[in-house]
Chains A and B, each alone.
Chain A
Amino acid sequence: MIKQNTVEKDIYLPQLATVKKAAMLNETELYLHLAMDGQPLDYVPGQFVEVSLAGIGEAPVTIASSPTFKDGFELVIRKVGTVTNAVHKLQPGDKLGIRGAFGKGVYPVEEAKGRNIIFICGGIGLVPQRSFINYVLDNRADYGDVIILLGTKCQSQRFFLDELKAWSQRSDIQFIETVDQGEDCWKGNVGVVTTLIPKIKSKLASAVIPVCGPPVMYKFVLMALQEYELPHENIYLNLERKMKCGVGKCGHCQINHSYVCMDGPVFKYSDLGVMPEAI
């Protein structure tokens, strides 16, 4: 016998949010500062929301702010498809729909307490990581050494420049950056993000290592980490897929048996043994 649910909540119904601030971070990345019109968004680092524009569509976006940021929440959205192109036209005061936050596989904010953390970020992969990074920075005393490694394709694609500058000036964290393709005006490291790993190898042993970047990056990061023989349960991978419905039904985000929208988007490397499609 099937049972009727007493709570008749529509899992597909977005709630309205208002744009408080919209700004381009570079040529393709839009920063949005949003506030829910009703109940504030309840989330933890690593979770994502479904962003809706009426009549245009819905797209999954991972939250860029930390829950310690109390004034609404932040998203960074790359202009790349139908929905995101329309999102880029939003102005302060405009409304959009939000569903979520979704995902039970999230960053280990509790387990990482008292431990060293090494964030490995590639390109727009900085955005989901920023939620955890800012959480750690807002609770700095709870964590050990904090190292942020960031690789960006080229200088013009870098974003959150003020924050990157502030990170590089802090003495209680180590921020190391590189770009894949160097230009004359770039004085920093040149090379992919994995070239930064040897620089911090003495810190790797017991650190919690969250990784987020484009799909192609994961295999190379894991290969680079391989030689240090780290416990796989210390490595956290953000494996975002096409989380179309966000509620474990539509099938688009499935990695083998696992629905990323339900079990992820953040997975422990040690849990991926039965998920050959993951990397």
Chain B
Amino acid sequence: MTIKKISKDAFGKFVDGLIKQQKVMGPCAKGDRFEFEQLDSSSQLRLDYDVTLRPPNRKYFLPPVETLLTCEVGGGYQSVYDDTEFVLLGIHPYDLAALNQMDQIFSRDNYDTHYMKRRLAATIIACDVVTPSKDVFAASMGTATAEAGFDVLLTDIGDSYLMETGSPKGEKLIEKAQGAVDAAAGDLEKRKNIWKENQGRLSKHKLNCSSSYLPKLLEKAYSHPVWEEKAKTCFSCGSCNQVCPTCYCFNVQDDVSWDFTKGTRQRAWDGCLLDGFTKVAGEHEFRKKREDRFRHRLYRKGKYVPEKLGTKTPACVGCGRCVSACLPDIANPVNIYNRLIDDLGLE
């Protein structure tokens, strides 16, 4: 592990150098919001962003629509891969936690070559949060800061950035950063304070239990009235699914060329809140009731996925996007889990 300090000017030049060599995706302003885009110049980069519209881990590794296969009608299939090298620059610790979780999902059991080729071609430069978003609660989910899972971690300490490497790939990358010097003890102290402050600042909603308690809490909450109460005003629009960095459900569909000779098989984001998600031939829908779909999402985040992966980290990373995106304002996981704690107690 190396920790270097680089002035913001020099860092801009470093990024411009990277852009000449490979694709660099970073947070840019989009109206009064932010979104990860391919950078043409370091001047577009907004590392002071609060939160992006879409989670960058899903946008780049499990894109909204991707072609898995091409085929000839009546003939065979060929795999389609995208393994273009790129740098994902500026991902926040909570989205990084989601990325690490998704890596587990797509590399375990059945290794997903489409996801993994893209993932292995990427260099991850994470960035500590400078401006907390209005609904972030990463501190409650243990994701306000990052300890691992990045190639490089950036921390804004005022007039410069600290760059910590987390992998040989990261080591190699920052060798190219001209003007970077070894970080001094005082710089590390500054960073430590920022990390400490971020635990408090990234806490706009506060979960009243340890996040590792959620599976246990949900064990006794299946028939709780909160699911029906909240779902009464749910539009089943799936916005909470669409903006979530840990949602990975997808649909697979085929498209055919105009002359019906060639086709493609694509996967596209899907959402368990949407009506029809579990519908099978013959019009039978297994999770027909809105409250059942609503509950399923909260159970996936708090119980099913962490138990599947055998981790203590929930599959909610506290980015707060669903809280901001939900029109009837019922999606906030913290409100729901806290309500369950109030009614069912701890233990």
Residues of A participating in the B interface, judged by any CB pair closer than 8 Å: 1-5, 7-14, 16, 52-59, 78, 80-81, 84, 94-95, 97, 214-215, 240-242, 244-245, 247-252, 254-257, 262, 276-277
Contacts and interface: CB of A to CB of B under 8 A. Distances in A.
Given A57-B253, A257-B308, A1 B119 contact: no
A253 to B, nearest CB: 8
B256 A55 contact: yes
Interface string B105-125: 111011111101001100000
Interface string B217-254: 00000100000000000000000000000001111111
5 contacts: A4-B116, A10-B113, A12-B79, A55-B260, A57-B253
Contacts of B260: 55
A12 B250 contact: no
B74 interface: yes
Contacts of A215: 284, 286
A57 B254 contact: yes
Contacts of B112: 11, 247, 249
B281 A81 contact: yes
Given A97-B77, A250-B270, A256-B304, A12 B265 contact: yes
Q: Which of A251, A255, A256 has the most B CB atoms < 10 Å from its CB? A: A251
Nearest to A3: B107
Interface of B: 68-69, 71-77, 79, 103, 105-107, 109-114, 116, 119-120, 167, 222, 248-257, 260, 262-263, 265, 267, 270, 272, 277-282, 284, 286-287, 292, 296, 299, 303-304, 307-308
Interface of B, secondary structure class, is: mixed
A266 to B, nearest CB: 17
B215 to A, nearest CB: 10
B279 A242 contact: yes
B249 A252 contact: yes
Given A16-B75, A251-B272, 16 more contacts: A2-B103, A4-B116, A7-B111, A12-B79, A12-B265, A13-B77, A57-B253, A58-B254, A95-B76, A247-B109, A248-B109, A251-B248, A255-B286, A257-B304, A257-B308, A277-B287
Contacts of B248: 249, 251
A95 B255 CA distance: 18
A209 to B, nearest CB: 23
A255 B272 CA distance: 12
B105 A249 contact: yes
B120 A54 contact: no
Contacts of A3: 107
Contacts of A55: 71, 73, 254-257, 260, 262-263
Contact of A78 (B106, B119, B167, B281): B281
Q: Which of B77, B107, B255 has the most A CB atoms < 10 Å from its CB? A: B77
B252 A58 contact: yes
A240 B280 CA distance: 9
Contact of A13 (B79, B103, B251, B280): B79
A214 B284 contact: yes
